[in-house]
Structure 1
Amino acid sequence: MRKTILASAVALASLSLTTTAAVYDVDVLTANDLAQNVFAKGIDDTGNALVVVQNEYNQPIDLSQLDFDNEAFTANLTDVDAAKEGNFNDADYNLIIALLRSSTGRNTGGQRLPNFRSYQQSGVQINSVFAFDELNENFNALSRSNQVIVRDSLNGDYFVGTSDDAFSLFTYTDTDGDEQTIQINDFGNRGFVQINGVTTGLPGPYSTLGGSSDAFAINNNLQVAGSAIVSVSENVTDAIERCDDDDARGDTPIEVCRWRINYPNNLNGASVSAIVAGGQRRAVIWELSTDGTLVNTQEYGLLFEPEEDDTFLYLSEAVDINDAGIAIGTASTGEIVEITRPNPNSGVGSNIIELGVVATSFHNGEMTELLDRSTFSQSRALVINNNNWVAGISAQVASTTARDKLFVKNLDSGEERIVNGFFTSSQTTPRDINDNNIIVGEAEVEVSNEARREKNAFMYNIETDEFVNLNTLIPCDAPYTLVDAVGINNNDEILVTARASSPIRDARGQDVLDDDGNQQLIDKAIVLKLSPNANGQVEECGGSTDTDTIPERQGASLPLSVLGFLAGALVFFRRYNERD
């Protein structure tokens, strides 16, 4: 395939794609210029698009948190005097940003720069979904120190997701009389709703160390579906008790000791906090007033009652909710399941022991298992519409190996089916469903035994049972490949994460050139909005139209290493979190 340079989102947007006769017109969000990688999160009926950006450009630097007395730091700067005044040249700016984003920077008293932040775009206007962030008086702007993952919006007014608290400096004197400074915050994962610049936290029943909760979806009645930690393991409790013991804690302040328990990457390189890793998670429905005030919290349990001495971490989790207040998600069964899944390294089937989980609904305080376990093994409900159609995934055996396949079920009629996708063993995951009974998501398009298979965005019509690769519905000369369709509204507008060949950019968003002054290219994630063209037709791109072979288009190709990164990052931004 031909490499096509993605100069910028603005440049791509200027392409005359909307003048073609393709089924969908393509708009490139200007939010793509915020960071090297930008991921789609959702689209509501107003056309408001939600994105998560990774390592955004032009981060403000807090001079007060730079240690210019540290020779190891200043020795690497090219112009120390200018840097002290905040007049960073490109080399020094890139160096400092890289340090602050590194594990070394995160575990010192330096400024906090999270990997991921969230934005919403309406038309050409882009606004931050800042959640619990606060103003940094040193540069008179949001600190951008907390990680924010937005997941859903309503009418461009209400935004829900998960965020940690903003970081602030904590200074103390150690036993040697030396002053120490560290950046800490009051809580980690917490669900939120943001409306008109005001954020309301959506806490769970367990509040020690700030607890942990996640918000995933909001309906028109301002009910939010999510989950929260209700209790923690003995290991976590013991760690908290050691922090509360003056002798065991030593000269570390209790605030710092307790923060280190709950912050990722501080204990044994954990990628999640101790609360999340050692917590019992349960489904929660929060109800809000029109101004975003929390008025009611409904907690759910499990489908079974564990034995008193059972230490397994079971879960129930609500990840979507329709306007009737029916939430759907996942719940543990208490069973142990042996299943053959593709080995993540080789792709060859390997026997795995898993805790049993089933697709579940949550409504009026009642939990209902949605599917027959003998047919739908290890199932998870992921999306629901106002026609009570539910879609999710179920482990289905193709040949000798189980792969997650799309299922659909109507809660009223009881009709249910497994959807094959592009081919029998194609792993197929829904991301959203609208009230026209159209589902979008991602599915494997590569027939192979590789550990990571190529994936493309799909659209599935429940009424007609048509399963379509969205790449076949856009212009053949489109310089990208649609990887994952994450949102579809009732106007049939679709928000997708695509990949495209783009210049490598530095921390300021400027092109990085090689020694000859040429652009250096990298494959990156971008976000596109697809709008249906009433007069559009499928374009012939010169390739096969078989379901097992996707017609060749002009999008960039990715090496396996980049495919792995994008796959991992995309999994991070799902409407559910795989914690068990």
Structure 2
Amino acid sequence: MKYKLLAAAVFAAITPQVQGATPYVLEELGNLDYAKHAYVTDANEAGQAVGMAQGVFNIVIDIAELDFESSAMTTAYRNRERVFENRDEEITFTLDDIENGNINGDAQQFLQDFLREYYASSLYQKISGGRVSEFNIAVEYNDSTQERVIYDVEHPDYDGGLTRSVENILTSIAEDGVKAGWGSAPYTKIQFTEDGETESETHYIRDFTRRGFVMTNTGERVDLMPTEATYGGISGAYNIVQVSDGYLVVGETSVSIASDSQESLDESCDGEKVPVEVCHESYVTSGSRPLYNRHATMWRLDNALNVIETVDLGLGIVPDEDEQKRAWRSTALAVNENEIAVGYSVVRYRDGDSIRQYPVYYKDGDVVEFINEYDYLSGGRAVAINNSNIITGYASKNIENTARNKFFYHNVATGETIFPTDFFKSSSVVATDINDNGLIIGQGEVETSSSASRRQEAFIYDINKDTFTNLNDLLPCFANDGESSFPYVVAEAISISNDGTVYGTATKTVDKRDAQGNVVVDANGKVEQESVVVSVKLKYNAEGVAEKCPEKAQETYERQGASFGALGLLLLPLVAIRRRFFK
């Protein structure tokens, strides 16, 4: 567990969904009424939590900027018609309807899908973090769930509301409620005329793609500026810890620009075909040819959130002259009160010339690798550290000719790294947090199918007892009526307090709602159902006893857990996708 000082703040508990004599009692943290899914990203000892909402209803689309006669739009519409035909249904809207402002739930979903499909083009409005990722809202779970606006702004083109063109990420919360995270700048419209053309076109640009920040309880934001800020720079805050004289925040920042990438940018970004800002961002966000050297960083802040010191935690290699032409990366994901940070970095692979990425920790100016490169593949993360300097995370291993993640814990004092037994041999399992009592949580695959997206569930592991348990086995078999199956499947365990309280995400079945938030009914007028993701709190019950579920209830539970459909993409090991929000 990222170090959590004791505090007097009290978290107002939400009415429990289930009361029972099991080891854990599940409570929903509550979602915004204008979003479908809810996720938790961190919680403190006082019970305050932060997270995000996805599936936001009624995102405003700037219809005036869409060309309804373009091949892109008409092709997308024909493809959507075929989707309806395959369901033996007639499409419920036309492009003329949309252009005239008559937009129903199906049309709203069509527009959102269209804009996500063309996310990479600067000619289209932005409402997501990428082609396949939904727009998200940063939320704080307190007396009630509330949205926290980070970098977004209100604009008349969106009915005077927020542009919804930014990424909003709260990654961590300190014991007094001060939060850390990162976000992107809102997109703005500019007119650009391509070289040789006479008519201008609208393009969408932004000032930066990722900037770290800390935020007070009242929503006041303090930016953590990147060391190298040319073309916007990059910084991210992934964990905050309260200490006696202020706060420690760890993450990453751009520290310099790779010469090869700079040379390529200078040659390509001439402003003839697209705005130079658009070209610059293509280099900033490039995964194949990164622009920036990004280093793990620790910021020291005083109690007023003034940045006192910015510490470069280093890189796991010392690049030679040729290697200095390329960009390299290290990142810190968590820190404890002893100022030991953990994360990942590039390192020398088996002491040769090759460079790979492995979990590391940062201590006293050193970048320390501790995973055996001969047993484990490149990749993995060290994600959390407790006050006894026990690190947890995961590394990748070749099992049955497939790369699988396996969780570990590492003792800094002894140098020992342990990979406990988990769900089964070929299950990919990742850890997400550890508390001061040696309890590790995370999630792993619970089915042995050959599918690329196996169903996953949350676990808890006790270092002292060497016991590994599916958290769902510590919850009731039945709902409150004593007959229906328990309505939740806990897919992720994200944060664990010293008293054993676990925060995570679960799935449950609810009335289906469309992109405008309307309840969906079938041709017979029956309300349709769907699985959604909800943020949950699992309160530890020391007197509880695990129930042995009857075979019938267990079968129902398995079917429910396997019926996520498209939601399965949201429930992959999210420590790599969403939880710490690094790319």
Is the pair's TM-score, using the shorter chain for normalization, greater than 0.5?
yes
CA contact (8 A) 1:191 1:203 kept: yes
Label 1:173 to 1:563 Cα distance change in 2 as closer, same or farther (>3 A).
closer
Which letter does structure 1 place at the counterpart of 2:461? Answer: Y
Tell me, yes or no, if structure 1 residue 216 matches structure 2 residue 235.
no
List aligned pairs for 1:222-301, cutoff 5 A.
222-233=247-258, 236-242=261-267, 245=270, 249-250=271-272, 252-262=274-284, 272-273=285-286, 277-301=290-314
Residue correspondence of structure 1 range 148-159 to structure 2 within 5 A: 148-155=168-175, 157-159=177-179
User: Is residue 2:496 matched to residue 1:488?
Assistant: yes
* Alignment-mate amino acid for residue 66 of structure 1: A
Question: 2-side partners of 1:54 and 1:141: how far apart?
Answer: 18
Within 5 Å, give how 1:150-549 maps onto structure 2: 150-155=170-175, 157-172=177-192, 176-195=197-216, 196-221=218-243, 222-233=247-258, 236-242=261-267, 245=270, 249-250=271-272, 252-262=274-284, 272-273=285-286, 277-310=290-323, 314-335=328-349, 355-373=355-373, 378=378, 380-396=381-397, 403-477=404-478, 478-543=486-551
Shift in Å, 1:111? 5.9
Deviates more, 1:447-456 or 1:102-111: 102-111
Q: Percent identity?
A: 26
**Is 180-189 or 444-453 further displaced after alignment?**
444-453
* From 562, 569, 577, the counterpart of 1:572: 577
Secondary structure at the aligned position of 1:471 is classed as helix
CA deviations 1:478-512 (Å, max 9, x no partner) are 21211111111233221122223344321222222
SS at match of 1:166: coil
CA shift in 2, pair 1:493/1:250, >3 Å: same
Q: Which consecutive residues of structure 2, in runs of 5 or more, have no partner in the other structure? A: 1-13, 74-92, 479-485
Distance 1:34 1:532, change over 3 A: farther
Contact 2:32 2:146 in 1 (8 A): no
**2:228 and 2:256 in contact (8 A); partners too:** yes
Q: Which amino acid aligns with 1:575?
A: R
Return closer, same or farther for 1:286/1:104 CA change in 2, 3 Å cut-off.
closer
Once the 2 structures are TM-superposed, how far is the Cα of residue 335 of structure 1 from its aligned partner? Answer: 1.6
Query: Contact 1:211 / 1:275 at 8 angstroms: preserved in 2?
Result: no
1:398 and 1:90 map into 2 onto residues whose CA distance is: 45
Aligned to 2:154: 135
Contact 1:407 1:418 (8 Å CA) reproduced: yes
1:288/1:512 Cα in 2 relative to 1: closer, same or farther (>3 Å)? same
Deviates more, 1:459-468 or 1:391-400: 391-400
CA apart distance, 1:322 = 0.7
1:342 counterpart residue number? none
Q: Which of 66, 85, 109 in structure 1 is aligned with 2:64? A: 66
Deviations 1:74-108 (A, max 9, x none): 97243866x3xxx8665665555454444279642
Could you say what secondary structure the match of 1:78 adopts? helix
1:214-235, Cα deviation, whole Å (9 max, x unpaired): 2211111311111233344556
- How far apart are the structure 1 equivalents of 2:370 and 2:575? 27
**In 2, Cα distance between equivalents of 1:573 and 1:508:** 25
Structure 1 segments unaligned to the other structure (5+ residues): 1-12, 263-271, 339-352
Structure 2 residue identity aligned to 1:240 = L
Q: Distance in 2 between matches of 1:281 and 1:38?
A: 30
Q: What CA distance in whole angstroms lies between the structure 1 residues aligned with 2:226 and 2:292?
A: 12
Q: How does 1:33-44 map to 2 (within 5 A)?
A: 33-44=33-44
Structure 1, 285-294 or 274-283: larger mean CA deviation: 274-283
Residues 136-191 of structure 1, C-alpha deviations (whole Å, 9 max, x = no match)? 35644433220122211113632222211112222345665434332211011222
Q: CA deviation at 1:458?
A: 0.3
372-381 or 418-427, larger mean C-alpha shift: 372-381
> Are the structure 2 counterparts of residues 480 and 60 from structure 1 closer, same or farther at C-alpha, using a change threshold of 3 Å?
same
SS in 1 for 2:499: coil
One-letter amino acid of the counterpart of residue 319, structure 2: P
Q: Size of the alignment, in residue pairs?
A: 530
Aligned partner of 1:346 in structure 2 is none
Provide the rounded CA distance (Å) in 2 between the counterparts of 1:109 and 1:213. Answer: 26
| Root-mean-square deviation (Å) | 3.6
TM-score (normalizing by structure 1): 0.80
Deviation at 1:457, TM superposition (A): 0.2
Larger mean Cα displacement after TM superposition, 322-331 or 285-294? 285-294
8 A Cα contact 2:193 2:200, kept in partner? yes
